[in-house]
Amino acid sequence: MTKTAWVFPGQGSQVVGMGNDLLELPEAKAIAQQAADILGWSVAEICQSAEDKLSRTLYTQPCLYVVECLLADQMRAKGHQPALVAGHSLGEYVALYVAEVFSFSAGLQLVKRRAELMDSASDGMMAALIGFDCDQLTQQIEQTPDVVLANDNNAGQVVISGTIAAVETVLNIVKAKRAVKLNVSGAFHSPLMAAAATEFQAVLDQVSFSPAKVAILSNVDPTPATDAAVLKQRLIQQMTGSVRWREISLQLPELGIETVVEIGPGKVLTGLIKRTCPDLILKNVSNLGEISTVVDSEP
């Protein structure tokens, strides 16, 4: 049997209409009601709303969490289980849920508070760079205070985060094929999120973590772990730490993974992984129909 990893995308992968087919399932309606009780609003309604509303951090993160958890539940209902899980930023919460570290409701309560804190962040900015000189970027970040490498996605795509002045300085000096300022409220995955991270830790400390049923590669430490205390500590560090996705990708074949299934809207993560590990078999599950396709094509 092929050794398979499941990966879960984060903010930026959302699309209007995501989860429509899932939320019509009888078993999903109870989950949707549970989510509405926790959030105070309807995930189905937000997923159908205008793109600018769905793309607001306050709504994006809980919606992605709910939709991706439902997709993973449907995969497991078909008798499939991953050998390993990982998630990109917000997606790590789905990975922890799938590994049975915490319940759906506990995870959603964490995601809700995380989204609120990140949505209210007003300091700094983020920018993606595509096709750049790695040495030049590394040197410039080292020489520029108040900017960090927030997402190391692959060799040709990264995200920097920091104060507006610092990020602008790097963008003006480092040559890149493309540089895109991200439409986010603050400098996520940087030390500028320290105050929000401290507030979030108080919420996180109240949630009981169980040992993971499958190994998890965390954003801040891409080595496999199942220990509850280790996983919680890594999650505490995530809000201010870098997303080390390139290193997560490199770990997959080293750990015997042959197939990677991205569970969630879009194909962002499989696109990133393909550049780093072109020999892996990559599949996507963004709706109910694609679950059948993936299942039918497995050896």
CATH number of 218's domain: 3.40.366.10
Residues 138 and 157 in one domain: yes
Judge if 148 and 96 occupy the same domain.
no
**Per-residue tokens: 272:** 């990133």
Say if residues 110 and 68 touch (Cβ distance below 8 Å). no
Q: Which of 13, 89, 249, 286 is catalytic?
A: 89
Residues 145 and 14 in one domain: no
Contact 43, 176 (CB under 8 A): no
The pLDDT tens digits along the chain (299 residues) read 679 999 999 998 999 999 999 988 988 999 999 999 999 999 999 999 888 899 999 999 999 999 999 999 999 998 889 999 999 999 999 999 999 999 999 999 999 999 999 999 878 999 999 999 999 999 999 999 999 999 999 999 999 999 999 999 999 999 999 999 998 889 999 999 999 999 999 999 999 999 999 999 999 999 999 999 999 999 999 999 999 999 999 999 999 999 999 999 999 999 999 999 999 999 999 998 888 777 555 54
109 and 66 Cβ atoms separated by less than 8 Å? no
Report whether 246 contacts 155 (CB < 8 A): yes
Catalytic status, residue 89 = yes
Query: Range of 254's domain?
Result: 4-121+190-297
Rounded to a whole number of angstroms, the distance between the first and last alpha carbons of the chain is 7
State how far the Cα of 57 lies from the Cα of 183, in Å rounded to an integer. 10
Distance CA 38, CA 296 (A): 36
| Domain's final residue, options 181, 200, 226 | 181
Please give the pLDDT value at position 289.
86
Catalytic one of 13, 88, 161, 189:
189
Same domain, 162 and 199: no
Distance of CA 217 to the CA centre of its chain: 12
Are 136 and 41 members of one domain? no
Same domain, 45 and 137: no
Q: What's the CA gap between 82 and 257, in Å, rounded?
A: 10
Q: Where are the alpha helices (DSSP H) in 55-155?
A: 57-77, 91-98, 104-120, 134-143
Residue 293 is predicted with a pLDDT of 76
Domain match, 27 and 110 both: yes
108 and 149 assigned to the same domain:
no
pLDDT at 2: 77
Same domain, 14 and 91: yes
What does each C-alpha distance from 295 to 4, 24, 280, 283, 290 come to in angstroms?
12, 21, 17, 10, 8
User: Could you tell me the pTM of the whole model?
Assistant: 0.96
Pairing of strands 215-217, 84-87: parallel
The whole-number pLDDT of residue 299 equals: 45
Report how far Cα 116 is from the mean position of its chain's Cα atoms. Answer: 16
CA-based nearest residue to 216, from 113, 115, 116, 82: 82
Q: Which residues contact 1 (CB under 8 A, 6 or more apart)?
A: 299
